[in-house]
Amino acid sequence: MSGEGGAGPPALTHVDADGRVRMVDVGEKPATRREARAGGVIRMSGEALALLSSGQAAKGDVLTVARIAGIQAAKRTAELIPLCHQVPLSHVEVSLALDSSLPGVRVEGGARTTGGTGVEMEALTAVTVALLTVYDMLKAVDRGMVIGEVRLLAKRGGRSGEWTG
């Protein structure tokens, strides 16, 4: 991977010339439509998945609560990630799907804005908190669940254009 003009690695935007951490100034960047999608999984025992799929979890509707938690988390990303900008989100979505091949749950999340910076962190935060919520609501049945494969799936907009992983 090379930086601008192909000369060496890309510059770290959150570090100034003296090596100090800083928040990037996006004030002069044009407002454009920006979108991002992220995904992740939580693997669990067959017993936990059966309980989840039957809707009989002691703490209630796991998938609905996790979806709402993910949406709320996207809206609070700047409070959790120190150098993230507050982004006026125009749309956030989180979907959860049972997957017996894991066994577990696949989560995807997306965020959209029109502004001067992207929403990758918001999409990633939505997915991560949704996964943590599934863990929290099923931990009495399976404390050995594993959260993983959290990653950016795609982003669109801004100077760097489109990216798909």
The residues that are catalytic are 136
- Do the beta carbons of residue 158 and residue 87 sit within 8 Å? no
Q: How far apart are CA 116 and CA 158, in angstroms?
A: 7
Residue 66: burial class (beta carbons within 10 Å; 0-12, 13-18, 19+): buried
The beta-strand segments (E) located in 14-141 are 32-43, 89-99, 104-115
54 three-class SS: helix
- Do the beta carbons of residue 95 and residue 123 sit within 8 Å? no
